[in-house]
Structure 1
């Protein structure tokens, strides 16, 4: 979402700098990935949370979503949820239309704001399809691909003394732009 915002607003972005971590820059391949192997555990959890929120909304505001509780209960994949709820509520034809129009990877060259993107090769949500080609990235985008980090894990150090690597990396990178603005 943040990368799409930055691309759509170009030089008129309200942000001086931004960081995107473990973002599914291509939504369709990421939705496909969640249906495979151990990633299905994440899909089950995420879908459960989405369905719980949708159930609460339907109970509080009947008719507020384009399905009823029995239809909601039968959804088995994130893609199904996106097809029936996310796409319809936000004016997209279906999940594929939503995935194509809201994937940020093709929009990265339009970003003018300094941006740090961090991904891990072992992220269970990701596929090689989300890795940007450095040759097409503008100079204001720094891309960092780590071997390990999972989905927003990025723990360094040792088992006895783990270090939350992300908690150091992001403020250090942003401080360059915060100091510049003062």
Structure 2
């Protein structure tokens, strides 16, 4: 069944849920989104590793939406269920592309995924396009996945038009230095950083056992900040000097002027993960980039409606953006 396209207005948070922390935590922990049934596809890579794709199959010739999830996310993330459900209702095809080690099975190599892995983004997009060569392909990225997608778009410039019709990034940490410093302080460090490190460290310690001499297991076990973890693990596995070098070189903000695909970038100004002062202005991005920076919304949240609320605004806004060029 194809539903009429919902056209959301500018985002405004419900009065009963004020503040960036409340909007972020409530949307993630308490708003329930119905699950989606996927078809799993595994792509074996030339380097000996693999990538897992979770598909919802639509009508032949209709648009395809690929979603790049956030840090430690997956096709089971609430935002993935919500977007893929909308995609299926429209008769489109959709796919959640898992980064390495995020599909429920450990990847095989001494590497993981990171916020600036534009090579991996390009590999994934080429694969998805090969499955639907004649259909419009739209790409969405959430948080870390949004930053990686924007890096690929900026580095590719006009060449990206051969693969992607339209793109969007939600709550992307455009300035990783600002985001990393914000997440390593106070409440953010005790809640969000501690939450992410619980699984990130577990995966890294398994890598240390699997590939002796690659990582310092004792130091990883003691790590209590993103700066420590990214220096000990992310930088070590992916060729950066340390966290500062990684954050500087992987940030998407410097390449936003080079984007040549119509791209929507949505960041709430009360996002706990990225301070508002680090957000770009319209003068700092390409003319093909549309910036939306509502005062409220939290991080990958944007709750709406009467209590107990929903997270429908975000997928509606994405579908509206992608619908503009639907053939």
Matched, 1:43 2:183: no
Distance in 1 separating the partners of 2:165 and 2:314: 20
Q: 1:37 to 1:114 in 2, by over 3 A?
A: same
Counterpart position of 1:10: 157
Given the two structures, how large is their TM-score scaled by the length of structure 2? 0.52
Counterpart position of 2:178: 29
Unaligned 5+ residue runs, structure 1? none
Q: Is the 8 A contact 1:65 1:85 kept in 2?
A: no
Q: Classify the secondary structure of the residue corresponding to 1:122.
A: coil
TM-align CA RMSD: 1.5
The count of residues paired between Structure 1 and Structure 2 equals 177
* 1:79-158 pair list within 5 angstroms: 79-158=227-306
Q: Is the 8 A contact 1:18 1:113 kept in 2?
A: yes
Distance in 2 separating the partners of 1:10 and 1:58: 37
CA deviation after TM superposition for structure 1 residue 121, in Å: 1.4
In terms of fraction of residues, the more helix-rich structure is: 1
4+ residue segments displaced more than 2 Å:
55-59, 160-163
Q: 1:98 to 1:127 in 2, by over 3 A?
A: same
Distance in 2 separating the partners of 1:163 and 1:127: 22
Distance in 2 separating the partners of 1:65 and 1:171: 43
Q: Is the 8 A contact 1:122 1:149 kept in 2?
A: yes
